[in-house]
Amino acid sequence: MARYIFITGGVVSSLGKGLTSAALGALLQARGFSVRLRKLDPYLNVDPGTMSPFEHGEVFVTDDGAETDLDLGHYERFTGVAARKTDSVSSGRIYSDVLEKERRGDYLGKTIQVIPHVTNEIKDFINIGDDEVDFMLCEIGGTVGDIEALPFFEAIRQFSQDKAPGQCIFMHLTLLPYLAASGELKTKPTQHSVKELRSIGIAPDILVCRSEHPIPDKERAKIGLFCNVRQEAVIPAYDLKSIYEAPMAYHNVGLDQAVLDAFQINPAPKPNLSRWQDVEDRIHHAEGEVNIAIVGKYVQLEDAYKSIKEALTHGGMANRVKVNVEWVDAEVFDTVDPAPHLEGFHAILVPGGFGERGTEGKIKAAEFARTRKIPYLGICLGMQLAVIEAARNVAGMPEAGSEEFDHEAGEKRFEPVVYHLKEWVQGNYTVKRKVGDDKGGTMRLGAYNATLAEGSNVARIYGGTTIEERHRHRYEVDTKYREALEAKGLQFSGMSPDGRLPEIVEWADHPWFIGVQFHPELKSKPFEPHPLFADFVRAAIEVERLV
């Protein structure tokens, strides 16, 4: 039976509950325990799949096809445990399931209420996989006091009472603001946050206090006294140069020990932290640096490309170099020469996205990389636009475009090199979709296999010809243009096992130009960099050495 750690937040949002949860999971693994991490989000969207990246950052996709919160990316990157559909739930999903049961008559005519029906649904979700791991870490989104989060707080309160004594603990993350005028750290917001938490029946066992300044022992003692928490369980959390310093930083201030003490696990297994010591060494002892441009349209919010940014960092670790990422707005050169904006970079990456805005700029970025022989990695839409660029400028199809942008073009004629994906094979059955289907959850989602061409660049990078990668898209390159494009040198070097869906393209005469339909960034980890990103950074290093 699992032990449960519920992680809540107070004072302000965006304090780093996801990172703290992930780092704690990594520390428990270092002590020999198995872990699983979950995110419970209060928003009413069924999932973040239809939310703009400006609203909620990137959408992280699991192997089994769930569109989830970006915190699940942190969980995977720090623990290596592949997330599942059962590791992420929202209020929207909970209410949807409750109402579906009510319509079926499952409640036998009872009046449906938040307590017990909604809270029971949440508890049932939390309890999934109870016998699979030693520790289940459950992060509650938002902050204590948020009206939409109240059912989740009530559910975890009930859950802790349902379980045996000592099987659940609560960890609360707060902020200690610093007043420069008086030179003081203020503990009152934390006291009020804990008071709010206690008012709904939850008493924290551990407090993690974010601060930009050192927290004196007397302040920790004061917090412990007024919040009814042992001083040893008041854990300071300071700003770090890299998120990958978090496991060692939290270990050094005793977070993992405080958790084991709260569960009365004594003696505590000694940790093996060699993995994270090596990660820190690679971060702090880089032997060079490269500059890589991410050409996108959500560049005002870096969380929109969170996994890509981290995967590039991992690629840098693999090569012992620092990767300097610059966010380049594709719309800036939609109608002008991209050279002034892209010269000086050692590599260019065009990520995925939806909609027409900025696509002409991304196409120009692909052309710039192709003609200047600069390493290029196109992901999802970045691959599709690289194919459109090749069709327009190399294969003699100046009207090449995508149904995603041109299906409402009226009388305008265009060559639909990229089309709406109407069907694909998933397991033992065929999935079919129409253009007018609901947007949520109707894409090609999750892990699919691909077969790589012998002797291709990607086969060399992966070290084999069979791979499995995660997808999230509803448009696809049309294979009827394959022959014309390959005749001009654009190799379709990765295909779905049935040969119907292009997965990877590459220019045979280019030092490093690869487009992939899937999202390799979702599987990259600091201690296991994704091979595509590791080799992409290696190619950027070669350019840097030639400059």
The alpha carbon dihedral of 258, 264, 269, 270 has a sign of positive
**Percent of the chain scoring above 70 in pLDDT:** 94
Q: How confident is the model at residue 358 (pLDDT cuts 50, 70, 90)?
A: confident
For the CA atoms of 274, 280, 285, 289, the dihedral, rounded to the nearest 10 degrees, stands at 130
Average pLDDT, the chain: 91
Q: Tokens 């802790």 correspond to what residue? A: 160
Residues of the chain with CATH 3.40.50.300: 3-279
d(CA 88, CA 249): 27
d(CA 533, CA 315): 5
Is CATH 3.40.190.10 what the domain over 3-279 is classified as, yes or no?
Answer: no
Q: Return the minimum-mean-pLDDT range out of 221-230, 258-267, 270-279, 435-444.
A: 435-444
> Do the bridges between strand 60-61 and strand 184-185 make them parallel or antiparallel, or are there none, so unpaired?
unpaired
Q: Are 314 and 259 in contact (CB under 8 A)?
A: no
Residues of the chain with CATH 3.40.50.880: 289-418+479-494+502-546
Q: Which residues are catalytic?
A: 380, 519, 521
Confidence (pLDDT) at 545 = 73
Between CA 71 and CA 77, with CA 72 as vertex, the angle to 5 degrees is 100
Model confidence pLDDT, tens digit, residues 122-142: 999 999 999 999 999 999 999
**Residue 233 — φ and ψ, nearest 5°?**
-100, 10
- In the structure encoding, which two tokens stand for residue 504, read together? 């990877």
Q: Are 75 and 87 in contact (CB under 8 A)?
A: yes
**455 pLDDT more than 70:** yes
CATH class of 289-418+479-494+502-546: alpha beta
What count of other Cβ atoms lies within 10 Å of the Cβ of residue 37? 28
Model confidence pLDDT, tens digit, residues 163-222: 999 999 999 999 999 998 888 899 999 999 999 999 999 999 999 999 999 999 999 999
Q: Which residues contact 102 (CB under 8 A, 6 or more apart)?
A: 112
Q: Are 539 and 347 in contact (CB under 8 A)?
A: yes
The residues with which 227 forms a beta bridge, in sequence order, are none
Q: How far is CA 281 from the centre of its chain?
A: 24
**6 pLDDT more than 60:** yes
